[in-house]
A = this chain, B = another copy of it.
């Protein structure tokens, strides 16, 4: 097995073998750029290193040494040579960029002999000393694990002794003392001498890089960025060049275009007489790259040409490291540059205009998640912010305001124009009026599907949920995080995109929907085959969705309509009715209201389909909490001073207790309600069809779809479809209006997927409710899992992703595939959609495209993301005939 490749033996396509850095160094070498020569040890070697129990694979050292001879030949220097020694850098290089996560050793190959040779060759003893000192410190820290602070102390001591402030002011004698003391420290810590054998140095350094693949921060980074832990890293051994050899030397970092704005103009900074790390360290302030035209006009010209060449070569904006050694320019690294969302959009569009890439490539360049940055107000990233606590990023965007703890107060203050952040342990439907008037919401409890999260996402309002670090004290009207107490009226900022909570007001950036944003989405719409609809429950949301490009509504949740303050009493009356007549009477006013709801939504979506899900949650969700009632009843009973109130409370308690369920998620909800209380669904069906009939008569085109939630058998669907058809017929006849409609099934239970072939006999469409399907397929209650065992499962790699965020393809996805295959067999034209939260997640959208869904539905603010993700999926996995 071959492990080692010289830079002129590789290319950019060998990324998985040579790592990103190695592949790019090879590519640059081959296109004739001035890259210090070197070699790359492949990721195979790293994997074999771990396979054999953290031992270097057999033969590797020999192979490295053999190839090192080639590097010597190319550079004319020799490793450990007393006259013209080769010094090298040893750096990690993973397949996917993991900036700063793994180890680097510079200046390797120094010992007392080669040190003297360097001093002599450069005619610069101070430089040789500094280089040697840096190497000892870096090697000791990175390879042997001696804290670098201890070496910095030695340096500081000397500066104090000499009475100077900067390293450069130290005398050569001081530098030599530092070198001696550093070697003594090494011996004291490890009980042996600092290795002078350059081959030993090299082998230890290679092992250290392999080890660093699994250091703590690398693992955390990979978890965060969903990088496979089994990829391993390559090792790059490259001949050193020095930017710190005087004022005709220097180091810099530059982007071929502006990474913040996307402007097509070189952007970056450099420092004269400095190594690369000095540019980043911030001790001296680097110069903007534009200054180079004055300071080193030749180099500047060369570099601009190279930057252009690299961009032309890679067809993407480049992030380039350069070093100038005594007037000669070297390129140390290039990679595709990270950029802001807006820059990504602009660069992609510009490059299409420049003919560098085509539209397809432009679409694939944009991270769909990035679009959410340009849709919401964001914290101004130029400002560094002190984070007080972190919660779940429940609804994206940022907001600042003064803290209030009560929804009424939030509403009152909000109406007067004050900017408030409503802070609650959790929110309930009773808080809606306060949420509407707040800038953002912060809760200490509840997950990504808590009331606050769902409601704010619908409104496009920032929300941080389940921020358990904050202790809310309603009585004192304050919350605390450790010792920090935040009182009512204090200002905070929240960032719903990341989950951060910040003390004080942080500047915000308004969203700006650039021309490029619109262009990219137009291109996306041209290629995607998946339709994108919105989850929207109100006419306002419907209009917003339309503006975001929704092609219909994929999910209107009617329960939110039941939760409004003025409706809840009717709903409760309906639930607590002791017989059918009472229930029908209580439903009558609700029917009028629902009809107006649907009228508004259908009108807003004129010409587009609107899918309405009939009542889904268990009825006790509309009643006061059992726990609260238990406490209140106990209190009244002990007090004994209000027998009438007690009696009333006990009556209510008994009713609520009767409706109480051990596992409400698996309980009396969904179409089970429609079957046991037929009048409830009949009311909703009438409201839908009467609204549709009215609009039809007014000349609007309406396309209602009635969705039956939580079906698990054909019999359920059959019964409810018949009821739906009967009521539609009645409404059309009564109003003398004709319109078409569909009635379909929400597939959100494993059994529904497994029996899809039968259910499709009655259902005209399937909408996958992947939230519930994930819950039942995994046996995970989302409410419980996210707070209890799911974090441990992700940390211990039992799960790669939170299945509620990213659709589980093997389990949930397989059920969907079964349902599609068998449903389509029964009814060839069956329409398939998804309306769970996954409908707005790019990876899930890709899967939905792959398995042949017709549409995805997501919250309004995710629509642009879904449109782009659908386009990318269509480009990666073209459907037949496309």
Binding site for B on A (CB under 8 A): 626-627, 630-635, 637-639, 661-668, 672, 675-676, 710, 712-713, 715-716, 719, 748-751, 754-755, 758, 772, 775-781, 783-785, 788-789, 792-793, 796-799, 808, 810-812, 814-815
In whole Å, how far is A635's beta carbon from the nearest beta carbon of chain B?
5
Separation of A639 and B635 alpha carbons in the complex (Å): 9
Whole-angstrom CA separation of A758 from B719 in the bound complex:
39
Specify the main secondary structure of chain A where it touches its partner: helix
A749 surroundings in chain B (CB, below 8 A): 777-779
New A-B pairs, 13, CB < 8 Å, besides A710-B779, A713-B799:
A634-B638, A661-B783, A663-B664, A663-B666, A664-B781, A665-B779, A666-B780, A667-B785, A675-B789, A676-B789, A749-B778, A754-B777, A758-B810
B residues in contact with A626, CB < 8 Å? 627
Tell which of B635, B638, B662, B784 touches A784, judged by Cβ atoms closer than 8 Å: B662
Contact between chains at A665 and B663 (CB < 8 Å): yes
- Please measure, in the bound complex, the distance between the C-alpha atom of A785 and the C-alpha atom of B755, giving whole angstroms: 20
Nearest B residue to A714 via CB reads: B798
A787 to chain B, nearest CB (A): 9
Judge whether A810 and B779 touch: CB under 8 Å. no
Which of B662, B672, B792 lies in contact with A664, CB distance below 8 A?
B662
Expressed in whole angstroms, the Cα–Cα distance for A792 and B671 within the complex equals 13
Q: A793 to B715, alpha carbons, bound, how many Å?
A: 10
Show 15 A/B contacts (Cβ-Cβ < 8 Å), sorted by A. A661-B784, A662-B664, A663-B663, A663-B665, A664-B784, A667-B784, A667-B788, A668-B785, A719-B798, A748-B779, A751-B779, A754-B777, A754-B810, A754-B814, A754-B815
Q: Which residues of B contact A661 (CB under 8 A)?
A: 781, 783-784, 788
Chain B hits for A755, CB < 8 A:
810-811
Q: Is the CB of A779 within 8 A of B788?
A: no
List residues of chain B with CB within 8 A of the CB of A751. 777-779, 808, 810-812
When distances are taken between beta carbons in the complex, the residues of chain B under 8 Å from A710 are: 779
Which one of B675, B676, B748, B783 contacts A662 once the chains associate, using CB atoms below 8 Å? Answer: B783
Give Cα A506 to B777, complex, Å.
49
In the complex, what residues of B have CB within 8 A of residue A666's CB? 663, 665-666, 775-776, 779-781, 784-785
Cβ A788 vs Cβ B668 within 8 A: yes
Say how far A675's CB is from chain B's closest CB, in angstroms: 7
Query: How many angstroms between the C-alpha atoms of A663 and B627 in the bound complex?
Result: 15
Task: Check if B811 sits within 8 Å of A750, measured CB to CB.
Answer: yes
A784 to B676, CA, bound (A): 14
Report the Cα distance A799→B662, complex, angstroms. 22
CA distance A719 to B793 in the complex (A): 12
- A778 near B665: Cβ-Cβ < 8 Å: no
Q: Which residues of B contact A672 (CB under 8 A)?
A: 789, 793
In whole angstroms, how far apart are the Cα atoms of A631 and B626 in the complex? 11
- The smallest beta-carbon distance between A866 and chain B, in angstroms, is 26
Picked from B777, B783, B796, B814, the residue with its CB within 8 Å of the CB of A776 is B777
> Would you give the shortest CB distance from A154 to chain B, in whole angstroms?
39
In Å, the complex CA distance between A811 and B777 comes to: 13
Most buried by B among A712, A796, A797: A712
A749, B749: Cα distance in complex, Å:
12
In the bound complex, residues from chain B placing their C-beta under 8 Å from that of A792 are: 675-676
Contacting residue for A634 out of B631, B784, B785, B798, CB 8 A: B631
| Whole-angstrom CA separation of A671 from B775 in the bound complex | 17
Give every chain B residue within 8 A of A798 (Cβ-Cβ): 675, 713, 715-716, 719
Nearest-CB distance from A799 to chain B (Å)? 7
CA distance A153 to B783 in the complex (A): 67
Most chain-B CB neighbours within 10 Å: which of A777, A784, A792? A784
Q: How far is the CB of A632 from chain B (nearest CB, A)?
A: 8
The 10 A-B residue pairs with the shortest CB-CB distance, nearest first, are A666-B781, A663-B781, A751-B811, A634-B634, A667-B784, A750-B750, A662-B783, A749-B779, A638-B638, A715-B798
For residue A663, which residues in chain B have a CB less than 8 angstroms away from its CB?
Answer: 663-666, 781, 783-784
Please give, as numbers and ranges, the residues of chain B lying within 8 Å of A788 by CB-CB distance.
661, 667-668, 676
A713–B780 CA distance with the chains assembled, in angstroms: 13
A781 to B749, CA, bound (A): 13
Q: How far is the CB of A789 from chain B (nearest CB, A)?
A: 5
C-alpha gap A812/B775 in the complex (Å): 16
Task: Check if A712 sits within 8 Å of B779, measured CB to CB.
Answer: yes
Q: How far is the CA of A661 from the CA of B559 in the complex (A)?
A: 23
- The complex places the Cα of A811 from the Cα of B757 at a distance, in Å, of 12
A826 to chain B, nearest CB (A): 14
CA distance A56 to B639 in the complex (A): 71
CA distance A627 to B666 in the complex (A): 21
* Given A631-B630, A781-B663: A797 touches B676 (CB 8 Å cut-off): no
Taken together as a complex, chains A and B put the C-alpha atoms of A750 and B627 apart, in Å, by: 32
Please determine whether B750 and A776 come into contact, CB atoms closer than 8 angstroms. yes
